[in-house]
Amino acid sequence: MQNVTALINTFQSRYHAEEKDRVWERLSHKIRTFWQERVLPNTHDALSDAECDEIIRILDRNGKGNTKSDEAVARVMVPQGAWRRMFNELHSNSALGQLVHAVLSETDDRRKAALIDDLYRKNEGQRNNLTGPSGNTIGAFLAAYDPVNNLSIISLKDRRAIIEFLGLSTPFDWAASSIGTRIVETNKIILQGMRRLGLLGSARTIGVFFYSPDVKALWKGEDTVKRTDKTAVSVVVPTAPDEEEEVNADTIRESMQIQGLVARIGETMGFRIWLPRADRGRVLKVWQPEPDVLLDDLPLNYDSSTMKTVEQIDVLWLRKRSIVRAFEVEHTTSVYSGLLRMADLVALQPNISLKLHIVAPIEKREKVLQEIMRPVFSLLEGRALKEMCTYLSYDHIKNIGELRHLGRMSDEVIEDYEEIAE
């Protein structure tokens, strides 16, 4: 956190927080007045493009007429015409407009989360850009309505990446939690975490800090690496999963059980274990390691891009200062996330020597083995992914976990169960 403290000091020396907060006090007043005097009143007149556009410029950096020097919440990725139609729908549909206003004006976190969930349920299936898995639109509304307490970091994916970058704990299960809980809790976690680190300004100030170029490069995972031909290339190591794919709660729970079982098997065989920080809360509900088994930090000396990749792998088995085996537990339909992470690792460290395993339900077997053979994975510099990465089913993991005398066995017993892509 020393680097973050230094970045905060640099940011505070050049960002005029009080002046910007006064600007946002005026902009927030415009937003509130627009809601109370134009959106909420039950009149039959449509909102004009001109009055909508004035508000869009506050909400969306891409709003018509905005320049780089103008203050706006964020890039919300909503087209200008869609914004106008949304405002008119909120004006003509009194119940929907009142519900959004209730979300914006609620100050109790629990009630606010419940109202957001209610909004998502009632707006389900509507193509009005109001509710989506990223949380962008609601996040922009909240940040504009109350910039003191609501972050202008509107993307949940960005918030999760920032939380993981800062090493902050999440007191909720991300996968099993509602969109309302995610929006409200991540806002609170980041604000509290940054204030502990010494950035005491408004939520808007904290949002601007994270999007300043030198800070953004860190939590976004941006880095420069050299290929074997010495050419420098920019790379980004994602630290937060995509939000697009919906996975049911039972599937999430099963994958958590398997992740915990893989960790327990490794512990029984004498390995020390690494879990991604974001997964620890849920995995430790099903696996209680002995003291000093679960590592707080990885004892590795890779470059920052490699470390960011390694730290996101679902389970690592380590002996002394070396990774022996790495496991990705897949539960999504696409099965890409784990494979991409493994491929990133091999691309960044072509000479790395360890065993990689994709663990997935038996019904995903063909998909996993097929994807390992893709050209993008087969033509990696150094060696093909299939030479290092094998498939293990959930049932294989359960069978290994039930073996007698597991603590006396070598980890090579895995090879009796793994399947190789051919």
pLDDT tens-place string over residues 35-60: 999 999 988 899 999 999 999 999 99
Residue range 226-239: mean pLDDT, rounded: 62
User: What pLDDT, on the 0 to 100 scale, is given for residue 248?
Assistant: 56
Question: In angstroms, rounded to a whole number, what is the distance separating the alpha carbons of residues 340 and 246?
Answer: 19
Could you report the per-residue pLDDT of 282-303, keeping only the tens digit for each? 899 999 999 999 999 999 988 8
Ranges of each domain in the chain = 1-217, 254-420
Indicate if the pLDDT at residue 244 is higher than 50. Answer: no
Tell me the mean pLDDT in the region 172-196: 95
Question: Under a CB-based contact definition with an 8 Å cutoff, are residues 159 and 190 in contact?
Answer: yes
User: Who's near 27: CB < 8 A, 6+ residues apart?
Assistant: 58, 71, 144, 147
Q: Cβ(273)–Cβ(164) under 8 Å?
A: no
What is the chain's length? 422
How far is C-alpha 360 from the chain's CA centre?
22
